[in-house]
Amino acid sequence: MIFTIMTLIPKEKSFFLVFLLCTTQLFAQTPNWNVNPNAFEHSMTLTTVVLNEDAYYVTEEITIGVFDGDECVGVSTTNTFFEPISANLAFVLVYGNSASASYTIKVYMNNETVNAGELSFISNAVLGTLNEPFEIQPIFEISGCMEVNAANFNPLAITDDGSCFYTVYGCTDETAFNYNPLANTDDDSCVAITIGCMDANYLEYSIEANSGYQEVLCINLIVYGCTNPFYFEYNTLANIDDNSCTQTWQNAYQLQNENLNILNTTIDSLNLEIENCSPEISIDFMAGWNLIGYVNSTPEDAPVMFESAADYIIIVKNNLGEVYYPEFNFNGIGNLIPGQGYQVKSTEDFSGFQFNN
């Protein structure tokens, strides 16, 4: 109805009439925002529209207030629907006592007052048209994540709603071997599950395996060795050949026979040398005490060993002090021990003594 009145009255008086009608209607709805036009020397006019939270023009009636500090210097409401832009317009007359100033804008919507930015006041200025109105953008209280390092940080939020979450890279495929239940951003690291033996010490080992019951999948422990049964080095436990097969059984038998022949020849030669060597050692005695060693290879009875020198020997002692007296036919020594030394006292010098063999 207000827009129709504007089209019927003269152009120079239409705005003033509309303003008066709007103001009359407004005072019944505003949250005690009042203006005394007689207190000001300057004014400017606004043709304006209010944007909602989605940045669209509102089609509801919303109260607009312009303030110089705490003092209201302009007030109106969006009660004129303008179909070409599908929006409710408000016509605001803003006052001031200086030719220019900086004011704040507030809107009253949804039963609460919301800040809506600033207005640069210029005396006698006209801001906005019907088709291109001055846009008032309320500063809504935006809730969201306010943690700068979070993945969903919202730089426009002024109230933290506890929704912050952080980027965790990893495999997000639940069927993959390396699925990470904590990851929320896939990094293309997923590896498919491959059942197999993962122990390289077993024949069944698979380099691609990453899952499976190893006690069942890993069966044959690797044993390196000669795996050819025709070779002397053949190892019945070996399952991987290590190139240690060097000699066939036939060659081994031949070599063994050759070695036996060499051994037999050596034994015969040694036996011949033993037969040709003379182990008998002659001992020369002086009158008095003599120290000799028993050179035979087997223990023998002392009287038997000294039988050829019994007429010249007074006494024979061993290292234990045991004695043999030929004159009294007393043998306290018993057998002579190979390699042991004996003290012999002779009545006179004589040479060429040999133990009985």
- pLDDT tier for residue 30 given thresholds of 50, 70 and 90: low
What's the pLDDT tens digit per position in 139-153? 877 778 989 999 889
- pLDDT tier for residue 7 given thresholds of 50, 70 and 90: very low
Does 132 lie in the same domain as 38? Answer: yes
pLDDT at residue number 144: 84
Residue 112: φ, ψ to 5°: -150, 155
CA distances (Å), origin 86, targets 6, 54, 83, 163: 19, 15, 5, 36
pLDDT at residue number 241: 94
Where in the sequence is the domain holding 242, given as residue range(s)? 223-261
Does 85 lie in the same domain as 54? Answer: yes
What's the pLDDT tens digit per position in 130-181? 999 999 988 877 778 989 999 889 887 778 888 898 999 999 999 999 999 9
- Mean pLDDT over 173-196 rounds to 94
Residue 136: φ, ψ to 5°: -105, 120
CA distances (Å), origin 158, targets 53, 152, 153, 161, 306: 14, 14, 11, 9, 127
Tally the domains of the chain. 3
Measured in whole angstroms, how far is the alpha carbon of residue 298 from the centre of its chain?
77
What is the largest distance, in Å, between two alpha-carbon atoms of the chain?
182
3-state DSSP assignment of residue 250: helix
Structure tokens given for 303: 């009287």
pLDDT-above-90 percentage for the chain? 64
Task: Please choose, from the candidates 166, 144, 163, the residue with its C-alpha nearest in 3D space to the C-alpha of residue 155.
Answer: 144
> Which residue type does 224 have?
Y
pLDDT at residue number 10: 39
Residue 213 lies in a domain: no
Does 289 lie in the same domain as 235? Answer: no
Residue 268 lies in a domain: no
Which CATH number is 77's domain given? Answer: 2.60.40.10
Counted residue by residue, the chain has a size of: 357
Most confident of 40-44, 161-165, 260-264: 40-44
- pLDDT tier for residue 99 given thresholds of 50, 70 and 90: very high
Does 243 lie in the same domain as 339? Answer: no
pLDDT at residue number 6: 34
Does 238 lie in the same domain as 132? Answer: no
Structure tokens given for 12: 């120079």
Does 246 lie in the same domain as 341? Answer: no
Residue 277 lies in a domain: no
pLDDT at residue number 143: 76
d(CA 299, CA 295): 10
Residue 302: φ, ψ to 5°: -60, -50
Does 335 lie in the same domain as 247? Answer: no
Q: 80-105 burial, b for 16+ CB within 10 Å, e for fewer?
A: bebeeeebbbbbbbbbbeeeebebbb
Q: Which of 28-37, 58-67, 105-114, 308-317 has the lowest mean pLDDT?
A: 28-37
Does 70 lie in the same domain as 8? Answer: yes
Structure tokens given for 355: 């133990």
Residue 83 lies in a domain: yes
Residue 33 lies in a domain: yes
Which residues make beta-bridge pairs with 94? Answer: 44
Average pLDDT over all residues of the chain: 86
Angle CA 326–330–332, to nearest 5: 115
Residue 24 lies in a domain: yes
Inform me whether the pLDDT recorded for 16 exceeds 70: no
| Residue 163 contacts residue 144 (beta carbons within 8 Å) | yes
- 275 vs 42, more confident: 42
Inform me whether the pLDDT recorded for 4 exceeds 70: no
Q: What is the DSSP letter of 289?
A: E
pLDDT at residue number 57: 81
Does 93 lie in the same domain as 19? Answer: yes
Does 343 lie in the same domain as 229? Answer: no
d(CA 145, CA 164): 5
Angle CA 20–25–31, to nearest 5: 115
How many C-beta atoms surround the C-beta of residue 137 within 10 A? 14
- Boundary (domain end) residue, out of 96, 121, 136: 136
Residue 90 lies in a domain: yes
Does 126 lie in the same domain as 7? Answer: yes
Does 256 lie in the same domain as 292? Answer: no
Task: Please choose, from the candidates 339, 355, 350, 336, the residue with its C-alpha nearest in 3D space to the C-alpha of residue 280.
Answer: 355
- 279 vs 143, more confident: 143
3-state DSSP assignment of residue 213: coil
Structure tokens given for 39: 């207190």
Residue 339 lies in a domain: yes
| Backbone Cα Rg of the chain | 64
